[in-house]
Amino acid sequence: MQRMDARLAAEACRRSRGAFSLVEMLVVISVIAALMAILFPALHAARVAGRQTACSSNLRQFGIAFQQRAGRSNGRFCSGAFDWRNDGCVTETGWVADLIEDGVPPGMMLCSGNPSKVSETFNDLLMWDTSGAGSHVDLAGPAEELAPDGTPIVNPCRRIVTTPLAPGSPERAAVVEQHIFQQHFNTNYTASWFFVRWGVVLNDSGNLSSSPPSSPATLKSRASTRGPLSQVHLDSAGTPSSIVPLLGDGVTTGVLRHPIAHHGRGAGVVKTFTNGPVVMTTMRAPGFAEGTPYSGPTGWWKTWARDTLQDYRGFAPVHGRNCNILFADGSVRSYRDQNGDGLLNNGFPPTADSGFTDTRIDLPPTEVFSGWKIE
């Protein structure tokens, strides 16, 4: 009997040594929680850094393609913006179409760090009513052609315009999705105004002019600007190509008004290109009374040259507080949003119109050119 009691006591002792007490379990849980609290921020930072590196690699590949195109296209880095309303048929014109023609699919090379994955151009492609649109650009693209077997080949933009396909209709959505979006005509990078517009066209009073006069005189319009940037412009100017931005991580500028592929209505859309030179106090292009002289303290040259800056609010710090920017020399550099206001300030005062919260410079003028024209 005593031997049995001893064996039972020994067995109970072994079991007690092999089991966790409540206190021990709580200690283990606390240690695991502490380790997770330490590791998770580090893992998140590693993911952000990885996405930023991949984004930078995309921009470098784009830069190589632009340099190659400039070498064979009269020096032009691209044919325009990815902007149906202002530049024309997106499968034929614009830097996105240029890249696809050169075998670089921008729709497969999105910035993974940017939560928005669709260009705002798709709101026009899906929803813009083009009937009666007196556009100064070719919205439809090339005429219908025939394949060797006699099958008609119709550009998707032409299908939308000439059929016509009603805004928001299933037929139009199918054409846009199958023949534009799924063919990788998309981006979530924002072009700089310099890249796709280069300079302004002004009348004798210093105001934006337009050719033809029926076209809107705006900083976005090709009719009021010089068109895409070229290596010739850079070579003849004193502005170093290393400080002229071409593309950057794009800001979310609105929401998708019609679903496309796996992107639902309400998904974020990215700005096509930055706004160009604006007056620092109004955030709009300068305007003058007719007859304003060119020179002198009240002349229009002073306002354009001294009172404007490039509006780079189209670039966004999507990698934590950092933004990648591609420059005309092919380099890619990262710039930090120092105050966390979500904007990259290149010299604007903090106003309600600008959205900047203080005067800290995120884009130094010696590194990112902000003048009204390249000279």
How many H-runs (helices) and E-runs (strands) does the chain carry? Answer: 10, 11
| CA–CA gap between residue 208 and residue 203 (Å, rounded) | 6
Question: Is residue 92 domain-resident?
Answer: no
Name the residue range of residue 268's domain: 22-80+98-124+188-336
Which helix (DSSP H) or strand (DSSP E) does residue 152 occupy? strand 152-153
What is the reported pLDDT for 46? Answer: 67
CB count in 10 Å sphere of residue 330: 16
What is the reported pLDDT for 11? Answer: 57
What is the reported pLDDT for 239? Answer: 94
Question: Is residue 64 domain-resident?
Answer: yes
Question: Is residue 287 domain-resident?
Answer: yes
Tokens standing for residue 66: 């632009």
- DSSP for 262-277 reads TBPTT-EEE-SB--EE
What is the reported pLDDT for 215? Answer: 84
Cβ-proximal residues to 330 (8 Å cutoff; 6+ apart), any chain: 60, 63, 64, 66, 67
Per-residue confidence in pLDDT tens, the chain, 375 aa: 555 555 655 555 555 555 567 777 777 777 777 777 776 665 556 677 889 999 999 999 999 999 999 999 889 999 999 999 999 999 999 999 999 999 999 999 999 999 999 999 999 999 999 886 666 889 999 888 877 777 778 899 999 998 889 999 999 999 999 999 999 999 999 999 999 999 999 999 999 999 888 888 999 999 999 999 999 999 999 899 999 999 999 999 999 999 999 999 999 999 999 999 999 999 999 999 999 999 999 999 999 999 999 999 999 999 999 999 999 999 999 999 999 999 999 999 999 899 999 999 999 999 999 999 998
What is the reported pLDDT for 367? Answer: 98
Q: How many domains does the chain have?
A: 1
Question: Is residue 164 domain-resident?
Answer: no
Question: Is residue 9 domain-resident?
Answer: no
Alpha-helical (H) ranges within the chain are 2-18, 22-70, 84-87, 95-101, 121-127, 156-162, 170-176, 193-196, 231-236, 300-306
Q: Is the four-CA dihedral 79, 85, 88, 89 of positive or negative sign?
A: positive
Contact 310/318 with Cβ under 8 angstroms? no
Question: Is residue 38 domain-resident?
Answer: yes
What is the reported pLDDT for 25? Answer: 75
Residue with tokens 């933004």: 323
Question: Is residue 299 domain-resident?
Answer: yes
Closest CA to 56 of 115, 112, 97: 112
Contact 325/308 with Cβ under 8 angstroms? no
What is the reported pLDDT for 134? Answer: 62
